């Protein structure tokens, strides 16, 4: 089953791919590696999920925001590459959580992103190396930002 088929089977709706908010490219391709700039949680109506984890958002709400970041990143990848089928696997994920100082479950939040990648590419190819860290703030007060690297399929 292809990533595009999995996305359709899961009946997931992608939000609009965000435009860069600064001087950077949404993706950069070097050889077969696709480096994706940091993404936030864009909803299907184009608005952002906002709020600090442990204050305005619960851990579960932040997990769902991280999942939404994944959908946002998939929208960018599809827009830039034409199809998610061009991606062979997830290689590396850096998840950043905008949380109160006492919040300590950053990996549990970023699991929202990672679980989505496994749903799309499967256990072997959807699971990449990963870091999950806490931040004092993130742009526009988003709760989660993720950057990632993917490997392009051969051919």
Domain spanning 3-12+26-150 has what CATH number? 3.30.1330.40
pTM of the model: 0.97
For the stretch 11-24, pLDDT in tens is 999 999 999 989 99
138 pLDDT above the threshold of 80: yes
Q: Is the dihedral of CA 127, 21, 78, 144 positive or negative?
A: positive
Average pLDDT over residues 96-107: 98
- Would you say 58 and 52 are in contact if contact means Cβ atoms under 8 Å apart? no
- Burial (CB < 10 A; 0-12, 13-18, 19+), residue 19, is exposed
Domain assignments of the chain as residue spans, ordered by start: 3-12+26-150
77 pLDDT above the threshold of 80: yes
Average pLDDT over residues 119-142: 98
pLDDT value of residue 155:
77
């Amino acid at each position: 089953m292809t990533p595009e088929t999995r996305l359709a089977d899961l009946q997931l709706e992608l939000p609009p791919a965000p435009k860069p908010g600064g001087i950077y490219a949404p993706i950069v391709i070097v050889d077969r590696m696709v480096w994706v700039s940091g993404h936030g949680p864009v909803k299907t109506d184009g608005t952002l999920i906002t709020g600090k984890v442990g204050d305005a958002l619960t851990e579960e709400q932040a997990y769902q925001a991280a999942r939404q970041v994944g959908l946002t990143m998939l929208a960018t990848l599809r827009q830039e590459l034409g199809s998610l089928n061009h991606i062979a696997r997830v290689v590396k994920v850096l998840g950043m959580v905008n949380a109160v100082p006492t919040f300590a479950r950053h990996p549990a939040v970023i699991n929202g992103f990672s679980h989505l990648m496994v749903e799309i590419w499967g256990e072997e190819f959807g699971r990449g190396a990963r870091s999950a860290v806490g931040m004092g703030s993130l742009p526009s007060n988003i709760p989660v930002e993720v950057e990632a690297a993917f490997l392009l399929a051969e051919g």
